[in-house]
Each structure stands twice: as structure tokens, then as C-alpha cells.
A and B are shown apart, each in its own frame.
Chain A
Amino acid sequence: MSDNHGDHVYLSLAEADHGPEGEARWAYGTGFADPLLGVDRAAPAGVDAADLAAYCLMLGDDTLILAQRLIEWCTRAPELEEEVALANLGLDLLGQARQLLTRAGQLDGTERTEDDLAYWREAHEFRNVRLVEVPNGDFGHTVARLLLFATARHALYERLSTHVDPVLAAVAARGVKELAYHREYAAAWTLRLGDGTAYSAERMQAGLEAVWPLLDELFTADQAELRLGVDPGGLREPVLAELTEVITGAGLTVPQAAPMARVGGRAGRDGVHTEALGLLLAELQVVARAHPGASW
């Protein structure tokens, strides 16, 4: 396309006729909405489609909500490079969310699209862990949350990359390499802040203390997850070992805080969230709800 429109970039964007596809003139066009286009939809033999849908929703909600939090740093990050970095991490997570939510909508019998699931559910219908929804706090908090999430999700994706569901396995196999970069980024900043000034170490430690009670939920199995042969409890030891290596390497202290209480035994995976999720969703969903069905 671009080779014919060298005169002015905006002219090519404004053209009504953009090849046979017509509508996909821009990367964010509406011409190619399906992130699983042409990928086999069926659940593999022996796997309960409802369980697989529920699990894809949990993992997709985790990455969707954390992507939204990371993107909140745009125009607010301490340095331009960090703003670009955090937006890039968010983009990876958003891409994973798009595939996982699409898979969930295909399998749960409702035929809901990724957009239906992202924009038209209420807070209690989201299945993300509470770790990803709490506000960013300062940069130390953000790095601490990212360190915990990326380390745990990297370990989970490593295991899921051989899962019997080929789509989940493919998302995980792609994601494990992306999460390796996220983990590296968070670990590098933990070291830099922990090993920096007394003040930066204090802020980094405060960030770790603030998010630590939310770590446990990542290791707490959901019944659907267990039926799919995944036990996140097995991640606890290796993930804690990795986190301990980074935190002590930064001259900081591994927090001892107890896990955040569940509500009547329920937490994020059951749709029980903190107040912060509703506020996040209000911003995430406002445009889609104000202009239902709009495209651009």
C-alpha cells in the first residue's frame, strides 16, 4: 500500500479505496479483528470446553487488566525510555489477552468476541487475580508488582507451552519469551532501585511489602484449572526461589506479610475483587459503552 502513496502520508490514510480489503488501511482498523483467524476452534478430545473457556478467561483477564495498569504510565513515567518500555510490556500482555479472551468466547458457547468480554462485563464477572488490579502506586510499587507477576506467569507459561490445548499451548509458547523480557526488566529495576540510594531502596522495599500479600493468589488453584491438569501450587517454590534471588541480590528483604484475606473463601478467580477494579473498568470501558458498535 505505502509504495503508491509517497506524496503525503495522510492522503493515503484518507483514501476511501484501500485495496480489496477496503477497511484495513490502518493497523488498528476493523478489517481483521479476529486474533485467532483461521485457527482451529475445537477443544481437544478429553478436555471440557467449559473448563478451558473458564481458564482462558482467567489468564486473559490477568493480562488485560495488567496491560491497562501499565498503560496508565503513559505520559507519567519517570523517563521516556521507561514509558516506552512499560507500554511495550502492556502491548505484549494485551496481545495475549486478545487471543485468550477470543478463545474463551469461542469455547463457552456464547460466541462473545474479545471486545464483548473486555467491554461488556461487570467487575464481578472478571476472573483476574487481585494482584493485577490494585493501583500502580509509585514506580517502585509498579516494578514490584511486575516482578511478582512476570516471574510467576513466566513459570506458568513454561508449563502451559506443552498443554494439550494447542491454542493455549501456542499462546504460552509465544508468551514465555515475552514474559522473559518482562521479568528481566522488573528484575533489573529491582536491582537498580534496591542497590541505589537509601531512599530508592526504601521505596522499592515498600513496593514489595505492598504487593506481597497478593502473591499467594497466583498459586491458589481454581477447580477448572485443576481439571485441566494445571496446578499452580507447584509454581510456589520455584517462583519464590527466583524472587528471593532477585530481592536479596538487590540488598532488600523478602517480605513476610501474610496473604490478603479471601472473602468467604473467594477471591479474584471467583469474581471477588477490590474496589480498584471497578474504577479501572470504568476507564477501560467508557468509550465502548458510550458508542456501542462503533468502529474507526
Chain B
Amino acid sequence: MVTTAPSAWEVAAAVPDPELPMLTLAELGVLAEVAEEGPAVTAWLTPTYSGCPAVAEMAADVAGRLRAAGWAQVEIRLRLDPPWSTDLITEAGKRKLAEAGIAPPVHTGLLQLGRTRLAVPCPQCGSQDTEELSRFGSTSCKALWRCRECREPFERIKEI
């Protein structure tokens, strides 16, 4: 049997997000790049929101996993350009969010002034008959919604 040690990318990509632990940092689109050179590895992270307080935890988790996997020199750097967007959440990431009862982002494009009407299916029952309760929720990236069909409240990742 041949086993291959995981690459630095694979190690870093498997780190769960501290606030959405059902997703990995790669599925969330936060892990921008990982470069290996001998015993040294550099990982670039793109923070979600400007004020995201989880960046410190993400950086510490990625560095810790890489060191535990045998890399002696680990450097974590931030990459601000291009800025993070919900477009960077992978299809697998969106599916896992929905499975965890969090509605994934549904469309992209800059928010315009004026009323916008989003069709957000309920992650519990699939009904399209849902409404926003509050644009702002427990973390910067989420809004609070409710399903009129099954009556369950749910969180939703806002497009940004």
C-alpha cells in the first residue's frame, strides 16, 4: 500500500472555520494560497469582513495544523486583494451550510438602494415562502430569516 503525506494545501484546507465549523476554510474561500518550500510553508488567508474577529483563530488553527503535520517554519499572511466574497464559497460549502440549516447565499452583485426581493428557500422544509426578520444576525456574515411555511427561524449567509 502506498500512502502519500498530505500536501500543505490539503492540511490547511481541512481546517474548520471557527464560526461555521461545518465548513473548512477552503470551502469558505478564506484560504487563498499555500506555498511550500522544503520545511517552510506560507499560507495566505483572506478575511471575510473587515471586522471579522475570527481571523486570529483561523490563523492560529492553520499554523497549528501545519506545524503538527511536520512543517518547521510556518508563516501566515493576509491577502486583502481581491476581497473575500460569498462567491468564493464552494458548491460543497453551500451544500454543507444548507444541511446545517443555514441558507447559503443566493445571488451576487452589489446591493443597490431600494427594495430588493430575494427568493430564499427555507433550509428546513424547502419552502420559498420565507421572510427576513433582521438583516443582521449573530455574526457579520449572517442575517436572520423565518419560514412562513414550517414556521422555523433560520440564519442565512448574506451576499457580499
A residues in contact (CB < 8 Å) with B = 1-3, 18-21, 24, 26-29, 31-32, 35-39, 81, 84-85, 87-89, 91-96, 98-99, 166-167, 169-171, 173-178, 180-181, 183-185, 187, 242, 245-246
Q: Which of B25-69 contact A (CB under 8 A)?
A: 44, 49-57, 59-61, 63-64, 67-68
> Contact at A170–B110, with CB atoms within 8 Å?
no
What is the bound-complex CA distance between A89 and B137, given in angstroms? 11
Cβ of A178 and Cβ of B50 under 8 Å apart? yes
Query: Are A27 and B53 neighbours in the complex by a CB distance under 8 Å?
Result: yes
Do residues B56 and A29 form an inter-chain contact, with CB atoms below 8 A?
Answer: yes
Residues of A close to B49: CB separation below 8 A: 91-92, 95, 174, 178
Contact of B78 among A27, A29, A39 (CB under 8 A): A39
A91: nearest residue on chain B (CB-CB)?
B51
Name the residue of chain B whose CB is nearest to the CB of A34.
Answer: B78
A38, A84, A166, most chain B CB atoms within 10 A: A38
Q: Summarize B's interface: helix, strand, loop or mixed.
A: loop
The docked-state distance in angstroms from the alpha carbon of A20 to that of B70 is 12
Residue contact A242 to B158, C-beta cutoff 8 Å = no
**Interchain CA distance A92-B53 in the complex, whole Å:** 10
Closest residue on chain A to residue B158 by CB atoms: A181
User: B79 — nearest CB in chain A belongs to which residue?
Assistant: A39
Is B131 an interface residue, CB under 8 A from the partner?
A: no
Which residues of chain B have C-beta atoms less than 8 A from A88's C-beta?
A: 136, 140
Chain A residue numbers with a CB within 8 Å of B144 are 81
Contact at A20–B56, with CB atoms within 8 Å?
A: no
B136 and A21 contact, CB distance less than 8 A = no
Question: In the complex, are the beta carbons of A85 and B134 less than 8 A apart?
Answer: yes
Set B53, B60, B67, B80: member contacting A28, Cβ < 8 A:
B53
The CA-CA distance from A37 to B63 in the complex, in Å, is 14
Name the CB-closest residue of A to B133: A81
Q: Which residues of the partner chain B approach A96 to less than 8 Å between Cβ atoms? A: 50-51
**What are the nearest 7 A-B pairs in CB distance?**
A38-B77, A95-B51, A95-B50, A170-B80, A32-B56, A24-B60, A19-B64
- Distance, CA A242 to CA B112, complexed state (A): 11
Provided the pairs A84-B136, A187-B113 are in contact, do residues A177 and B80 lie with their beta carbons within 8 angstroms?
no
